[in-house]
Structures are given as structure tokens and as C-alpha cells.
Structure 1
Amino acid sequence: MPNNFRQVKKQSKMKTRLTLIIVFIVSIVSAYSQNISGDWNGETKRGEKLITFVFKIEQEDSKYSTTMSVPTFRVSGIKPSTTTFIDGKLIIDGSNVGMRYEGVYNRDTQQFEGTYKEGGVELVLILKRGTIKIANSRRPQEPVKPYTYYEEEVVFKNTEAKIALAGTLTLPSKNGKFPVVILISGSGPQDRDESFMGHKPFLVLADHLTKQGIGVLRFDDRGHGASTGDFGNATTEDFSKDVLSAIAYLKTRNDVDVKQIGLIGHSEGGIIAPLVANNSKDVAFMVLLASTGISGTELSVMQSKTLRQFPVKDEAAYEKNTRKAIAIVTSNNSESEIKEELTNHYNAFLRPILTSLNVPKEKINAFIDGQLKTSLKPWSRYFLQYNPANEIEKLQIPVLSLNGSKDTQVNAKLNQEGIRNALIKGENKDYKIVELENLNHFFQECETGKMDEYRKIEQTFSPTALKEISNWILKRI
């Protein structure tokens, strides 16, 4: 065979091999540098409950951002802090809102295969491209447009925090000047409707009050929905400044009676409200819904026992160890020292309990990791050291306190005793404290008051509680 023929053949083989290598490299690069912008959805099961997730991923330049919705629970607008897609691995880090998704792209199925983590819960979640049709799950009390009153989408700024807060203002009419209440949501990132367990209590409350002649401003928490900012690093005090910004905004409007601006706080919102009022001369009255009257430490100790999802043999020892964990968190040590000491404490305290219940090691690790992350947040450290009774004592404006008798999250009798004693000590001349029978933490008529019951109840907000709120306000404006 001539040498030149052999050389041509050899070059041809090399060229073919090189072409295959190039094609292979291009296929890898295209798979891992592809644009993953768009909607991704997936379903997973927790127990018998099927949960649907939707992630809307957007790309600007080389950076990704994600907005998460959980249609099953009618929750939307959740904004995880960072999204990365490197070498086929997608990480949606929502440490600011207590969640994390990690998935690897499967080129054959064109899906992300991974896990969703929230607190101590870890779920297998496969994401596929596309939107999903969400069934209408509107609860009976939710209003249907067109409303009989005026509604406006608004945005106002907390200039100190350099964030914009988006919300909805409803007024009895487009023309006139009206009293307005600001709704303050409970703990955790909440949208303007305080959407929770398939309900929208703030939407129902706003609708009721506006129909009674009382304007309402409700807004998405910072870093949630259409509001900007970082929820994960904010404290109760930071949230109070967001409400102060809402007051400042209302004062710029000529359709608001600035002498009749009130606050309605639910759960944590009820301990934010007194902090706001004591830093503003523009709060005329206040309604506390399922609010606490004891310190964050005492509330946390109580909830650690009543809301705990596993049994313990020695309640006294469990409480002692819980208090020790709180003491570590609230110490003056550095964050690294607190983390190390708390990790050792949780391993000595929680791990043996969960191991004795045959909980798998990986789930115990995830649970302890979740406890650590929650405990080390600025919010936790502030909350545990905050006693709302100290702020309630200073209030010299009219105060209405409502709690449900079957509230398993915030014990009515104990907390209303704290609220009452603070108001008496501060010599408040106008207050009313009512324990409403058979209502839970969200003021639904209920059987047990337990958290797993919220979703099953069709009622969003007891008419009795709604009337109690509006009647009390109308007598004071």
C-alpha cells in the first residue's frame, strides 16, 4: 500500500475520531450550559399528602433567580436567595426562607432529579419543564371580583433598609377620606393575604373591614412576593420598621384619615404592633390577634413541648435541655462559638431521643441541621430575648386582644394574662380582652385546634371574630 494512501487513511481516522470527540464535548457543554429559564414543576408525597411545587427560573446575564410557588398550599411569590446551575447541578438555596433544592439534570429524561429540604424534612422531588393547571381552590369566604369597594396596588419604601414593599390598599370608596388599618402578618415569610394551609385570612379580613367602612393596607413581607429585601436575616424589630414605613406612606395620601391609622397584628404581628406604636405618634388603636404576652423564651419552651412531633420519656429533662439550648443561643459568645456549643448540645440531647425512636441517622442529621440553622438566625436570637409585655405596658392607645380558646400555638389564658397584667400595670384606660370559644390560632371554628386541622376546615375566619374586630374599631373612629 503506498505511503501517501496510508497517510491519508490515518488522517481520515484521526479526523473522524476528533469529530466524535468534538461532538461529545459539544453535547456535554450544550447540556450543562443550556438555558434553564422558564417554569419547572414537580410533585412529591409527604405521608399521604401530594404536594406540587413550581419553580419559575429567570436568567439575567450569567445569573439565575427563582420564584417558588406551592399550589397545594396556595402559597406563591417565595424568593430563594440564590440559584446556581453548574456542571448539570441545580441548587436553589432558600436559606432565607428555610428551604433548599438540589437536583442533577438528566439529559435522557430532560428532568432535574433531586431533593427538596425544609426544616428537618427531606423529600424526593423531580422537576420537569412546563406550567401546570392549578385547580380553583378558593375558600367560601374569599371575595370575588369585581369588589364593591376601591382596590389599589401600592409600593412604598423602607429607606433605612433600602427595600420596596408591595401591597394592596382597599378603601370603602375611591372618593373620600377614611380610617385605615395596617395588617401585620405572623412569623415566617408571608404574602399580603397571609396565605397559609390553603387559606387567605388577611384577604377575608380586609374584605370584611373595607365593607364596614374601614380601609386596609396589607403587604408582602420583605423578600417575599413582590417585596424586595432579605427576610432570612431580618428580626422582629426590622419588621416593625417595615410597618413604620407603611404608616409614613399612608400619611402621604389625601384619602386616608391620618388621625385614624390603626394596627392589626396576628401572632408575631401582635408583638410587632406594640413595638411600632411605641415608636410612632400616628397609631390611633391596636388589635392583637392570637398575640403573646410572655417572653419569646417562655413561648418557645411551651411550644417545644406542645408542638413537638415525637414523644419523650422525661418531660422535665426535655424542658431543662431546651432551656439550655436557648441559653446557648442568647449568650454573648461569638456565632462560631455558639454554633459549636449548640451542635454538641443537640447531639447530646436530641440525637439519643430520636435514635431510641428508630429514626434513620440521615433524618436525625437533617433534623439537627435544621434546628441549628433556625436557632442561629438573627430573628431567633432577637425573638427569644424579646418580651412583648414590656412594650404592651407602654401603650396608651385603645387595645383589643382576641385569642381562640383552642389555639394550640399560643395558649389563650396564659398569654392574655400577660397582656392584661401589662395593660393594667401601664394604666391603659381603654382595652378589651376576649377569649373566643372553639377558635384556633387562625380564628377558625374547629374541633381540636391542632395545626393539621387548619387545611381541612373550609372556614377561613370566624364571622364572630370578624364582627368583634370591626364593631370594636367602629366604636373608636
Structure 2
Amino acid sequence: MTPDISGDWHGVLDTGQAKVKLGLRFEGDTVWMNRRSGAVDPLALRRDGDGVGFELLPVDLAFVLRPVGDRLEGTCLHNSVDFPVSLAPGVALPVSHSVRPQTLTPPFPYEVEAISFTGADGSKRSGTLTRPPGLGRPRVIVLSCWFGEVDRDQTVAGHRPMALWADHLTRRGLATLRYDKRGVGASEGVFDTASTGDFAADLAAAIAFLRTRSDIGAVGLLGHSEGGHISADLAAADPHIAFCVMMTPTALPDEDILETEMFNAARLVGGVPRDFDRTVGFVRALAEASRAPTPEQTLARAREILAAAAYPAERLELRAAIAAKPWQRYWATHDHTAGLRGLTCPALVLLAEKDLQTPPRAHAAALRAANPAATVVTLPGLNHLLQPAVTGAPSEYREIETSLDPSAIDVVCDWISAL
């Protein structure tokens, strides 16, 4: 007979990619789940011996739990991985997050100007130009953020790394420009239909804007992750770019390293992959579908792949649409080292030893081979966000107080200053 577990329980699901707070209430044959959106879902509860199970299929969660002492212990199946779960009785106390130690506050010892320019789609981009005090025409660095719907500061988990880069570079005598991506923050336009190529076109528009100003000198580029790629692509096509910094870029298509890298973050937090070979084949097939000549063909092929894999009907259309998104289709055919190969300006490639998203063990050799003249540096102990890390799993981002490790700041700033 199942022990009485009625009432509230709380815990955390750590997938290696993110940590999600769990709030559950068991009442008879129903469990109620609090979600981050504020919605509360009533779910049917299965009983099996001394355990219980339930699913939240729209977000791909399936729980199996049983009482162990005063806790509920078990697993959550998510994205073909069983993750350990431990729940305590009661409702979790609210947690207040302190301001990150590196968070910037004015006044600043340099000029800060709100600017706007016209993006590649004709809509407004809004940003911040910083400029060291004094006369002259300082070199200016355009900062490009990583993948995703992020603002000019690349705000993530309470960290604002691009604001820190702008601050440190400006204190070194360089001007900087950072701006919100299209459809984000104060920038106009539509984010959801944009590809990496569209973000590169917006970067070209930012460079053109800077060249209209009489108080700015030569333009250099610095980008993080996807931002590093668009920086290299633009610098390779523009002989007037003074230098290019790529931070934690990739060199190989994602599907080329699935067997060794796909589940590393999950394993670090205790996850156990199910049907490894089947899952790898399934992801590789969807990547190939994204390379179809038209979005319609991608969508049709993705539906076939998902149906053949018995993908839950509740999520099939959503998952197929992801494969057909402009960003996914562009990235699936993007030559990740083309920009780096084509650079004639000085180039710095910064890698992070504990990076699980673009791990140096998989990408460093190809990056070095793409441009032997580039300076390639791997920093020990850092993750993809260039924070000091324990495991390197993205789910650690929020728990790490340091937004940007001083070793990364010094390497980049010293390299640029020496040019």
C-alpha cells in the first residue's frame, strides 16, 4: 500500500542545462504542479506499489517517485534522460537573490551615450556607446551577444557580461558599442523569424553607423559564441575591420560530436541517458531535415522523423516547427570556420576548459587549423559564459556569483591593447 503523501512537496530538477524549481501538491489520485509561468496543472496520479508516477507531456516531463524516509525520491524522464529528483515536504521558502558582485553602477569615468541605428530589416536598433574621455578618435569595438533572445548586456541568470566587457575595454581607452538584438529590449523588429545571417546583417548596419561618426576611429569586433561567428564572418568580408575576437566559438557541426558531447551536462548532474543510439540518430536525422531546400520540405521531413520515432503527439508539431525555423535552417548549413579562415586582420580565439557547449576538446584543433595566424587561448577552469566553474554545466550559471572571470578580461584587454 502506498504511504500517505498528501500535501505539498518541493525540490529542484537539475538537467545540467537548467535548474527548475518543483512545487507539487498531492490530493487523492491527482497531483498539482506549479509552473514558472504561474499556471497550476492538475495531473492524473498513477500508483504502483509504494510509488507514484505522473506526466506533464507538453513539456516532456515524466516522474516516478516513492517515499524514502521523510522525502520523496525518484527520477524525472526529460529529453531521453532520467534525472534524479528529491523532494522535501512543505512549500519552499522564497529565495532572494543578491546583486552580483560585478554589477556596474554609475557614475562611470567615461562617456555613456544612448544611440540608435537602422537595422538590416529597416527597423530601429537601440544600444549604448561608451567612449573614453578626452579628444581624439579612439578605436571602437562592437560587441555581439551569444545565441538567444538577449539584450545588449547579454543578461542571463542575473549576470550582464557584455556590460562588463564594455566597462573594462572603455577603461583601457577603447570605445564600445553594444545593442539589443532585433525584437529585444528597446530594439524594434521580430526576433523569432531571424537567423544568424540576419544578426550578421544587423552587425554590418552597426558598423556602417559607427563609420558615419567623426569622433570614432577604426572598428574592431568582439563576439561571444554565436556572436563570435557573426563577428568573424563580417571581419572576413570587410578588409577595414581592425581586429576580431571570438569567444567560445564552435568549429564542427553539432551532429558531428553527438556521440561524445550530447549528454555530458546531463551526466554531470546524475542523469542517465535512455536509448542512447536511438536518440543520437533521431537528433542527427532532424539536423539533416533542417538542410532541406525549403522550410516546407524541412517541416514535412521533420514530421515524418518524429512520427516514426513515436514522438508524443502533443509536442510533435512544436518540435517539427523548431527544425524549420529560419535560425535552425541557417545554422544547419553554416560553415562554422569560414569566417575564421577568411580573416586577414589580427584574430583572438578564446576557449574555456570547462565549456560544455563548445568544448575545446572537440573544437580547438579545428579552430587552430582554420587560421594558424590567429591567437588561440584556452583558459583553465572556466565555463561557456567565462565564469569560474565547478562542472561547467549551464545549470551552474545562476549559482556562480562571478559574472566574468578576471583571467578572461585580462587576456582579451591585454591582447587588444598590444595591437
- Give the TM-score normalised by structure 1: 0.65
Corresponding residue of 2:390: 447
In 2, Cα distance between equivalents of 1:118 and 1:408: 27
Name the SS for the 2:309 alignment partner. Answer: helix
In 1, Cα distance between equivalents of 2:234 and 2:291: 24
Among 110, 128, 142, the residue aligned to 1:182:
142
Counterpart code for 1:445: P
Corresponding residue of 1:8: none
Q: Provide the aligned length of Structure 1 versus Structure 2.
A: 339
The question of 1:153 aligning with 2:153 is answered no
Residue 368 of structure 2 contacts residue 376 of structure 2 at CA under 8 Å; is this kept in 1? yes
Corresponding residue of 2:185: 225
Name the SS for the 1:278 alignment partner. Answer: helix
Residue 351 of structure 2 contacts residue 377 of structure 2 at CA under 8 Å; is this kept in 1? yes
Counterpart code for 2:368: R
Higher normalized helix content (fraction of residues)? 1
Q: CA deviation at 1:392?
A: 1.3
In structure 2, the CA distance between the partners of 1:296 and 1:395, relative to structure 1 (3 Å rule), is farther
Q: Deviations over 1:36-59 (max 9, x none)?
A: xxxxxxxxx99549xxxxxxxxxx
- Structure having the higher Rg: 1
* 1:26-41 equivalences in 2 (<5 Å): none
In structure 2, the CA distance between the partners of 1:455 and 1:100, relative to structure 1 (3 Å rule), is closer
The question of 1:323 aligning with 2:307 is answered no
Q: CA deviation at 1:279?
A: 2.4
In 2, Cα distance between equivalents of 1:348 and 1:311: 24
Q: CA deviation at 1:301?
A: 7.3
Q: CA deviation at 1:255?
A: 1.7
* 1:67-216 equivalences in 2 (<5 Å): 137-158=98-119, 160-173=120-133, 175-216=135-176
Residue 250 of structure 1 contacts residue 256 of structure 1 at CA under 8 Å; is this kept in 2? yes
Q: Deviations over 1:246-266 (max 9, x none)?
A: 111111112211x3x111110
Q: Deviations over 1:135-174 (max 9, x none)?
A: 784211122111111100100112x411211000111116
Corresponding residue of 2:416: 473
Corresponding residue of 1:291: 249
Name the SS for the 1:183 alignment partner. Answer: strand
Corresponding residue of 1:263: 221
Among 319, 324, 340, the residue aligned to 1:392:
340
The question of 1:458 aligning with 2:401 is answered yes
Identify which of structures 1 and 2 has the higher relative contact order when contacts are C-alpha pairs closer than 8 Å and 6+ apart: 2
Counterpart code for 1:386: H
In 1, Cα distance between equivalents of 2:324 and 2:37: 17
The question of 1:381 aligning with 2:324 is answered no
Corresponding residue of 2:71: none
Percent of residue pairs bearing the same amino acid type: 30
* 1:49-60 equivalences in 2 (<5 Å): none
In 2, Cα distance between equivalents of 1:253 and 1:299: 44
In structure 2, the CA distance between the partners of 1:141 and 1:447, relative to structure 1 (3 Å rule), is same
Q: Deviations over 1:364-409 (max 9, x none)?
A: 4455444223211011011011122122111111111111100111
In structure 2, the CA distance between the partners of 1:118 and 1:436, relative to structure 1 (3 Å rule), is farther
Unaligned runs of 5+ in 2: 1-8, 14-19, 21-35, 41-56, 62-94
Residue 289 of structure 2 contacts residue 298 of structure 2 at CA under 8 Å; is this kept in 1? yes
Residue 152 of structure 1 contacts residue 170 of structure 1 at CA under 8 Å; is this kept in 2? yes
Corresponding residue of 2:66: none
In 2, Cα distance between equivalents of 1:146 and 1:136: 24
In 1, Cα distance between equivalents of 2:224 and 2:131: 21
Among 366, 375, 379, the residue aligned to 1:436:
379
- Give the TM-score normalised by structure 2: 0.74
In structure 2, the CA distance between the partners of 1:302 and 1:201, relative to structure 1 (3 Å rule), is farther
- What is the RMSD computed on CA atoms of the aligned residues? 3.0
In 2, Cα distance between equivalents of 1:468 and 1:303: 27
In structure 2, the CA distance between the partners of 1:194 and 1:300, relative to structure 1 (3 Å rule), is farther
Q: CA deviation at 1:448?
A: 0.6
Name the SS for the 2:105 alignment partner. Answer: coil
In structure 2, the CA distance between the partners of 1:413 and 1:46, relative to structure 1 (3 Å rule), is farther
Q: CA deviation at 1:436?
A: 0.5
In 2, Cα distance between equivalents of 1:149 and 1:118: 49
Q: CA deviation at 1:318?
A: 2.5
